[in-house]
Chain A
Amino acid sequence: MTAANSNGVLDEEIPLLTRKDFVSDQEVRWCPGCGDYSILAQMQKTLPGLKIPREEIVFVSGIGCSSRFPYYVNTYGFHTIHGRAPAIATGLKTARPELTVFVITGDGDGLSIGGNHLMHLLRRNVDVTVVLFNNRIYGLTKGQYSPTSPIGKVTKSAPMGTTENPLDPIKLALAAGATFVARSVDRDTKHLEATLSTAAQHKGAAFVEVFQNCNIYNDGAFASFADKDVRQDRMVYLENGKPLRYGSNLEHGIRLNGFQPEVVESPTNDNELLVHDTNREDIALPMILSGMNYPDFPVPLGVFRQVERDTYDGLVAEQVGVARDSAEADLEALIAGPETWNVL
Chain B
Amino acid sequence: MTTEIESPLSEGVTTRDRVTIRFAGDSGDGMQLTGTQFTRTTAVYGNDLATLPDYPAEIRAPTGSLPGVSGFQLSFSSNDIHTPGDNPDALVAMNPAALKTNLRDLIPGGLLVVDDGEFNSTNLRKAGYENNPLEDGSLSSYRLLRIDITKNNADALDGLDLGAKERFRSRNFYALGLVLWLFSRPMDTVVRWATEKFGRNPVVLEANLRALRAGNAFGETSELVHERYEVPPADVEPGIYRHISGNEATALGFVTASHLAGLPLFYASYPITPASDVLHELASFKRFGVKTMQAEDEISAVCAAIGASYAGQMALTGTSGPGLALKSEGLNLAVMAELPLVILNVQRAGPSTGMPTKTEQADLLQAMYGRNGDSPVAIIAPSTPGDCFWMAIEAFRIALKYMVPVIILSDGYLANGSQPWSIPKLAEIPPVLWRQADHETVSHAYERDPDTLARAWAIPGQAGFEHRVGGLEKSYETGDINYEPGNHHKMTLTRAERVARIADDVPDIEVVGPQEGDLLLLGWGGTYGSITSAGERARAEGKSVASAHIRHLNPFPSNLGEVLSRYDKVMIPELNNGQLSVLIRSQFLVDAIPFNKIAGQPFKITEILGKIDEILGLAGPYEFEF
Residues of A with Cβ closer than 8 Å to B?
A: 6, 24, 26, 53-58, 60, 63, 70-71, 74-81, 84, 87-96, 98-99, 116-117, 120, 316-317, 319-320, 322-324, 326-329, 331-332, 334-337, 339-344
B315 contacts partner chain A, Cβ-Cβ < 8 Å? yes
Q: Which of B264, B308, B469, B480 contacts A91 (CB 8 A)?
A: B308
Contacts of B307 in A (CB 8 A): 60, 78, 87-95
In Å, the complex CA distance between A158 and B291 comes to: 46
- The 8 A CB mask of B200-220 against A (1 = contact, 0 = none) is 000000000000000000000
Whether A95 contacts B266 by the Cβ 8 Å rule is yes
- Answer whether residue B4 sits at the interface, using C-beta atoms and an 8 A cutoff: no
Chain A residues near B311 (CB-CB < 8 A): 91-92, 95-96, 99
Chain B residues lying within 8 Å of A334, measured Cβ to Cβ, are 252, 255, 285, 288
- A336 lies within 8 A of B240 (CB): yes
On whether A96 and B426 interact (CB within 8 A), knowing A77-B468, A343-B241, the answer reads no
Across the interface, A341 reaches (CB within 8 A) one of B43, B244, B333, B465, namely B43
Any chain A CB within 8 A of the CB of B104?
no
A93 neighbours in B (Cβ, 8 Å): 307
Q: Within B272-306, which residues are at the interface with A (CB < 8 Å)?
A: 285-291, 293, 295-297, 299-301, 303-306
Could you give, for residues 131-155 of chain B, a 1 whenever the CB lies within 8 Å of some chain A CB and a 0 otherwise?
0000000000000000000000000
Contacting residues, chain A, for B330 (C-beta < 8 A)? 81, 84
Q: Is B12 interfacial (CB-CB < 8 Å)?
A: no
Interface residues on B, range: 35 or more
Contact B470 A96 (CB under 8 A): no
Top 9 A-B residue pairs of the complex, sorted by shortest distance between their CB atoms? A91-B307, A91-B304, A79-B470, A92-B307, A323-B286, A87-B303, A77-B468, A95-B308, A87-B300
Interface centre among B241, B248, B312 (most CB of A within 10 A): B241
Between A93, A120, A343, A344, the greatest number of chain B beta carbons within 10 A of the residue's beta carbon is seen for A343
A63 to chain B, nearest CB (A): 8
22 contacts between A and B (CB under 8 A): A71-B481, A76-B466, A78-B307, A88-B304, A91-B304, A94-B291, A95-B266, A316-B291, A320-B286, A320-B287, A323-B286, A329-B289, A331-B256, A334-B252, A334-B285, A335-B256, A336-B423, A339-B242, A340-B242, A341-B46, A341-B240, A343-B241
Q: Does A323 lie within 8 Å of B460, measured CB to CB?
A: no
Query: Are B460 and A88 closer than 8 Å at their CB atoms?
Result: no
B243 adjacent to chain A (CB < 8 Å):
yes
19 extra A-B contacts, CB within 8 A, seeds A79-B469, A91-B268, A339-B40: A26-B480, A56-B460, A63-B471, A78-B469, A79-B470, A80-B470, A84-B330, A84-B333, A87-B301, A89-B307, A90-B300, A92-B307, A94-B291, A96-B312, A320-B291, A331-B256, A334-B288, A339-B44, A343-B238
Residue B189, interface by CB 8 Å: yes
A327 contacts which chain B residues (CB < 8 A)? 287
| Assembly CA distance A335 to B425 (angstroms) | 9
Given A55-B466, A76-B466, A78-B470, the answer on whether A95 and B240 have CB atoms closer than 8 Å is: no
Query: What residues on A are CB-neighbors of B313 within 8 Å?
Result: 95-96
Query: How far, in angstroms, from A74 to B472 measured CA to CA in the complex?
Result: 18
Which residue of B is nearest A70, CB measured? B468
* A89-B295 Cα distance, complex, nearest whole Å: 13
Return the chain B residue nearest A75 by Cβ: B466
Q: How far is the CB of B544 from chain A (nearest CB, A)?
A: 34
A341 adjacent to B480 (CB under 8 Å): no
Most chain A C-beta atoms within 10 Å of own C-beta, residue among B308, B337, B466, B472: B466
CB distance from A244 to the nearest CB of B (A): 36
Enumerate B437-467 residues with CB–CB distance to A below 8 Å: 460-467
B17 lies within 8 A of chain A by Cβ:
no
Nearest-neighbor residue (CB-CB) of B192 within chain A: A339
B236 located at the interface, meaning its Cβ lies under 8 Å from any Cβ of chain A in the complex: yes
Interface 0/1 of B317-356, CB less than 8 Å to A: 0000000000001100100010000000000000000000
Nearest A residue to B295, CB-CB:
A87
Given A55-B463, A96-B311, A319:B242 Cβ within 8 A: no
The residue of chain A having its C-beta at the shortest distance from the C-beta of B308 within the complex is A95
A79 to B468, CA, bound (A): 7
Chain B residues with CB below 8 A from A324, complex form: 286-287, 289
Beta-carbon nearest neighbor of B427 in chain A: A332
- Judge whether A79 and B472 touch: CB under 8 Å: yes
Is B159 positioned at the interface, with any CB of A under 8 Å from its CB? no
- B239 on interface, CB distance cutoff 8 Å: yes
For A53, A96, A320, A335, the residue with the greatest tally of chain B CB atoms inside 10 Å of its CB is A335
The reply to whether the CB of B199 lies closer than 8 angstroms to some CB of chain A is no
B468 with A26: CB separation less than 8 A: yes
Bound Cα distance from A112 to B617, whole angstroms = 61
